[in-house]
């Protein structure tokens, strides 16, 4: 009998880098899977010496965290890389940007600090543009949501229609004109900006203008009660 082939064992990474990237312009419509494919191509073109996982199908050591929903622009997406050789983080950033498609931008690359990246990503700050919304109605809806103990919405998921509370995830919410700034906590289930928009429209149906909400993630990190802390800071 032929001995069973054992999976190949790969050396552990010698360097870990944390990356902040942005999706701008039409790149906001790139799905998480689209970004992953484009990013792996850029890694190869840039000659970044990636470490690989062990097993029968080794893959580059890339850990993604809290991807924004498709259709949302973002200035604060994060991932971690495991490298097989030590490289200067700024040079990695520049090489990747030269290889990335338009609208996908590597903003910052730093050496990873101890601890899990996910533990530093517990809240996000979003800007939501509700084109055509009456400012007074929007401000009233925001005030009523904040005064509520619970506001439930529905969303279709892979397992069917799910009903859940959005209020518990809302850390801060302000309205200025037809724009809303939201600070939301990472919860289970995950409350997305469009869920908060749905809640505001339930409170004030007149806010259903027919125009899609334009969402941008401005920051991601931990909330200290006043601001979002930079997850890449030492």
DSSP codes of every residue in 56-102: SS--B-EEEE-PPPTT-EEEEEEEEEEESS---HHHHHHHHHHHSPT
pTM given for the model: 0.91
Angle at 108 between CA 66 and CA 231, to 5 degrees: 50
Q: One fold for both 15-119 and 122-229?
A: yes
Question: What was the pLDDT predicted at 7?
Answer: 60
Domain 15-119 in CATH 3.30.300.130? The answer is no
| Alpha helices by DSSP H, the chain | 32-46, 89-99, 135-147, 193-203
Strands 214-223 and 73-83, by their bridges, are parallel
Residues 234 and 111: their CA atoms lie apart, in Å, by 9
Q: Kindly list the domain boundaries of the chain, sorted by start residue.
A: 15-119, 122-229
Question: What was the pLDDT predicted at 11?
Answer: 81
User: Which top CATH class is 122-229?
Assistant: alpha beta
Residues 184 and 174: their CA atoms lie apart, in Å, by 12
Residues 100 and 109: their CA atoms lie apart, in Å, by 15
Residues 52 and 10: their CA atoms lie apart, in Å, by 6
Per-residue pLDDT of the chain (234 residues), as tens digits, is 555 665 667 788 999 999 999 999 999 999 999 999 999 999 999 999 999 988 778 889 999 999 999 999 999 999 999 999 999 999 999 999 999 999 999 999 999 999 999 999 999 999 999 999 999 999 999 999 999 999 999 998 888 899 999 999 999 999 999 999 999 999 888 999 999 999 999 999 999 999 999 999 999 999 999 999 999 997
Question: What was the pLDDT predicted at 23?
Answer: 97
């Amino acid at each position: 009998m032929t001995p069973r082939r054992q999976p190949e064992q790969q050396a552990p990474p010698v360097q870990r880098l944390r990356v902040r990237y942005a999706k701008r312009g039409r790149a906001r419509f790139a799905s998480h899977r689209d970004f992953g494919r484009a990013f792996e191509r850029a890694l190869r073109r840039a000659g970044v010496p990636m470490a690989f996982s062990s097993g029968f199908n080794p893959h580059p050591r890339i850990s993604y965290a809290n991807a924004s929903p498709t259709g949302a622009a973002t200035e604060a997406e994060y991932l971690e890389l495991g490298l097989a050789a030590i490289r200067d983080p700024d040079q990695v950033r520049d090489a990747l940007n030269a290889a990335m498609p338009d609208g996908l931008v590597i903003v910052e690359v730093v050496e990873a600090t101890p601890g899990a990246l996910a533990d530093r990503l517990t809240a996000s700050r979003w800007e939501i543009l509700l084109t055509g919304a009456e400012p007074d109605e929007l401000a009233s809806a925001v005030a009523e949501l904040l005064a509520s103990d619970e506001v439930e919405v529905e969303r279709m998921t892979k397992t069917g229609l799910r009903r859940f509370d959005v209020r518990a995830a809302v850390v801060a919410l302000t309205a200025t004109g037809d724009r809303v700034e939201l600070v939301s906590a990472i919860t289970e289930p995950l409350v997305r900006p469009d869920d908060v928009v749905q809640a505001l429209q339930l409170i004030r149906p007149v806010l259903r203008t027919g125009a899609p909400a334009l969402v941008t993630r401005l920051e991601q990190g931990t909330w200290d009660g006043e601001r979002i802390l930079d997850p890449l800071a030492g």
